[in-house]
Chains A and B, each alone.
Chain A
């Protein structure tokens, strides 16, 4: 139970939940700047596949990544449910770095997750990388388990891969 209160562990609080390839995921609502519908994306050459390109967000150009591809899931077509979650990634340094768009299948709702509901991510054996998850939560309103995404890690690795590439 102490693990929950670790600095890197998932905190209780409000999470924005969304769907990715049939699974439920959540990110802390405080990191979410806004949610927008799919935009026309301008592709950028010579970047890893999950970096789809850039979009115009009210006069500001921000990069967009496809979370499915980033997390190793099979790609899917974008439909009217597909959304872009704009994450405020200012932990990366300055405000300039901040907004990064993440394409998800669809956005569900905002849930309050409290400590009791959080559990550490179980291991699925050596072949599965669970580092992207901070933990899992079992919310009473949900049948399925919510994976609390370590969005910093997800995006941070993206950044690293880009810089190296």
Chain B
């Protein structure tokens, strides 16, 4: 008798945890009915009543109604029926009891069934106590599932398991003990970690333990199967994050493979006809754009939680997604978007306070929606249970229940401690609602009699009203504004609040971010755009390029020139102008801004900082700088590496920073701007800087350089460049984030592949700056066309310092082979351009006819002799046919106006080659 009720009770419990009563009422009704029938059979009045109530509530559920009251009722059914089941098992006639008080012992107990070799009293005690323990464990598990961060519950669970283990020992139930021991060890492992452990192995454990108890009571000779398997699950289960650590970013829990016995892997699926819908790709692209603007909004909210505009943006994003997804019958997306939209609605109407925990939750919703969109495009779909769980959390948040990442890291905790918030609960509530910390300001003022209680309440009410109107204001400022206190008093009170500065910093709006806010705002506006396939765009740009060349060939045709027709000249000039404009316009089509790259960086910094336990503020500027699409694509990876390195190795941990007298928040700056035809991107950190000696030491130790090269005499720049050598790393420990710093040589290669330069400047203890210089576009360069012999070459304008005619006085012959010229107070070697390219350095016999062009690169300066300068123009860089190897000194070809190819000189490589030869 007891067994059936237990079984149904457990089935109901499972349904409560796993199923949605609106979507799948059957999962609940079936066990409910069964329990009800049994209860009626036994005459358990209380249970009957509860079942009926639950049943009514369940049947009354419709989509849109809150399922929680029904769930509550059903939970009571579970508890009561479980309790009754136990008592029945012991042969006790259960008395109706009020709920919830499952820990109450039944008043009398009669001797239960016998287990061989054990005294009846002992057995009785055992079954009672074990049964209770088990119910307690089950209750804890259910609560922990909803609130996995309750460390007190985890501790209790461990106690319960431990106790149960001990009791089993009394009965010499060795196998059961072993299983419980594994469970206990597991709980030990997860205790004290930031990430809560996994609950799923526990449920089958409880099931099994109940069966064990049942077996004991019924006098069975052997234990039910499954002990070994359970042990295995606990011992091999490393605690995996059900949620990530601090930062409250709330990624989705990983799909739990241990869900085997509970449910099969059940990914979200979409109906086939939806996947065929031709508007689907457009929907996906649009939805992604909305998600992007929502993400931007959420990041903006992190910095300025009071700003109402981002709240609206996020709300609208999910609202729109819900709408269109509804059109297309994409119900998983609709459900998720609906819950998110509801929460956002509450937030933007001021009925919910939007805290960092909320931001984390919505970011998780954002990610989940993105994954669902991915599933529409053929990528693996997330598990149904994951999505349901997330929806559950969002709905819970809407009801006001939200888990808060325990403020164990960083300044929040210090600040809270500083203002006297000590206990865990207070910290929790302060983290949920930081404005509560501010109210203490009012308390302080009250204490000091600077303020009367009525005035304070008035001000608080006013503050609340203002907040609802979307005009949040700090209580201190408000009090001063209302004339209730004076600013001096406010300052004093603030400083009393706890060492002034940490609190101020926490409560004040961060001042470092303005440059990006305008950006984020712009981003949040989904611009009116047309989407064009990039292939078409590239085709268009190529064709315009060819048009320009063809047009130039016509214009420069000597036969046309000999016609001497004014009208013809005029028309040709007109065509030239139009073509030039067309070219500019088409080039600008390829230009994009850094906006999305910077936003990616913003999110990356957040994540990396959280993972490495550092507190980082990222300030960015120049996101609106426009560059060619290819530059943006290729700069992303190097930037990620550099930023990761800066956070991981450059910036110190908060305590180290404080010890060094720096603010505990590390400052990271990312700036982009154009300068003399190049794009400059700077990454600056105020971390520990790069120490020469460390680099030299490391380079020596890995054999990169040798003592004989006298590295101590090298310039800082040369030393820092060693960082880019493959196989180099000064990381003291390998972190999984940036590895052994292997990124840096890849970074250098990527940057140089873009014909860019990368430089490092650093001061030990102060910080480092990584500077990336890139050409504005990868495809076009501004150059000077020169003639040397019968060939023409293009010298990039950026590399040219000056050009001039040599005079014999300033030209000196050295070693009867080389020539030097005196220019700008320095002696610079002279080569003929084509000779230099051909490795023919001997100019003996040639008089210095022609023009000297002084070119420079990081490797130095060199003068090249050319026959004539033909002009300056922008040329499109073309590859020289990939079947040819790269030639040192030539970076590509350019098609000039007459259709012939001129070689573009790679000044950097040429100079390094020449200086090698000379040296």
Contact = CB atoms under 8 A, between A and B. Distances in A.
Nearest to A165: B885
A42 B890 contact: no
Contacts of B914: none
A29 interface: no
B761 to A, nearest CB: 36
A97 B893 CA distance: 16
Contact of B895 (A47, A56, A99): A56
B549 A51 contact: no
Interface string A81-98: 000000001001010110
Interface string A32-69: 00000000101111110001011110111111000000
Given A45-B834, A46-B839, A56-B895, A63 B549 contact: no
Interface string B805-843: 000000000000000000000000000001001110000
Nearest to A155: B883
B88 interface: no
A59 B546 contact: yes
A8 interface: no
B902 interface: yes
B545 A59 contact: yes
Contacts of A141: none
B879 interface: yes
A48 to B, nearest CB: 11
Contact of B903 (A40, A44, A51): A44
B881 A100 contact: yes
Given A43-B791, A45-B834, A58-B546, A92 B893 contact: no
Given A44-B903, A54-B893, A56-B900, A63 B883 contact: yes
A45 B889 contact: yes
B764 interface: no
A162 B901 contact: no
Contacts of A163: 885
Interface in B364-405: none
Contacts of A115: none
Tell which of B880, B884, B885 has the most Cβ of chain A within 10 Å: B884
A47 B893 CA distance: 16
A114 interface: no
A46 B840 CA distance: 10
A99 B546 contact: no
A56 B881 contact: no
B883 A97 contact: yes
B758 to A, nearest CB: 27
Nearest to B839: A46
A10 B96 CA distance: 98
Given A45-B834, A46-B839, A54-B893, A162 B885 contact: yes
Contacts of A47: 884, 887
A60 B899 CA distance: 11
A51 B888 CA distance: 16
B895 A62 contact: no
Contacts of B899: 40, 56
A56 B902 CA distance: 10
B890 A61 contact: no
Contacts of A92: 883
Nearest to B899: A56
Interface string B790-810: 010000000000000000000
B542 interface: yes
Contact of A60 (B834, B839, B878, B903): B878
A54 B880 contact: yes
A51 B549 CA distance: 26
B882 interface: yes
A96 B885 CA distance: 13
A159 B902 CA distance: 23
Nearest to B838: A45
Nearest to A156: B883
Interface string B226-245: 00000000000000000000
Contacts of B545: 59
A96 B889 contact: no
Contacts of A42: 791, 893, 900-903
Contacts of A60: 878
B881 A54 contact: yes
A100 B883 contact: yes
Interface string B538-552: 000010011001000
Nearest to A100: B883
B883 A159 contact: yes
Contacts of B542: 59
A44 B887 contact: yes
B154 to A, nearest CB: 57
Contacts of B880: 44, 54, 61, 63
Contact of B901 (A54, A58, A96, A165): A54
Nearest to A41: B901
Interface in B880-919: 880-885, 887-890, 893, 895, 899-903
Contact of A61 (B546, B791, B879, B889): B879
Nearest to A43: B791
Nearest to B902: A42
A163 B901 CA distance: 23
A61 B838 CA distance: 21
Interface string B871-883: 0000000111111
A133 B549 CA distance: 40
Given A61-B893, A61-B895, A44 B884 contact: yes
Interface in A138-165: 159, 162-163, 165
B409 to A, nearest CB: 49
A89 B882 CA distance: 11
A44 B900 contact: no
A62 to B, nearest CB: 5
A42 B901 CA distance: 6
A37 to B, nearest CB: 13
A96 B881 CA distance: 7
A45 B878 CA distance: 17
A163 B883 CA distance: 9
A47 B890 CA distance: 12
Contacts of A40: 899-900
Contacts of A58: 546
A3 B879 CA distance: 41
B835 to A, nearest CB: 9
A162 B884 contact: yes
A45 B791 CA distance: 11
A91 to B, nearest CB: 11
B890 A45 contact: yes
Contacts of A61: 878-881, 893, 895, 901
B895 A63 contact: no
A63 B902 CA distance: 13
Interface in B820-869: 834, 837-839
A19 to B, nearest CB: 25
A56 B901 contact: yes
A99 B878 CA distance: 14
Tell which of A40, A45, A62 has the most Cβ of chain B within 10 Å: A45
A162 B888 CA distance: 13
Interface string A101-119: 0000000000000000000
25 contacts: A42-B901, A44-B880, A44-B884, A45-B838, A45-B839, A45-B889, A46-B887, A46-B888, A47-B884, A47-B887, A54-B881, A56-B895, A56-B900, A59-B542, A59-B549, A61-B881, A63-B880, A63-B884, A89-B883, A92-B883, A97-B883, A99-B881, A159-B883, A162-B883, A162-B884
Interface of A: 40, 42-47, 51, 53-56, 58-63, 89, 92, 94, 96-97, 99-100, 159, 162-163, 165
Given A40-B899, A42-B903, A54-B893, 20 more contacts: A40-B900, A42-B900, A42-B901, A42-B902, A44-B884, A45-B838, A45-B887, A53-B901, A54-B881, A56-B895, A56-B899, A58-B546, A61-B878, A63-B881, A63-B883, A63-B884, A94-B882, A97-B881, A159-B883, A163-B885
Of all A-B residue pairs in the complex, the 6 with the closest CB atoms, nearest first, are: A42-B901, A63-B881, A59-B546, A45-B837, A45-B838, A96-B882
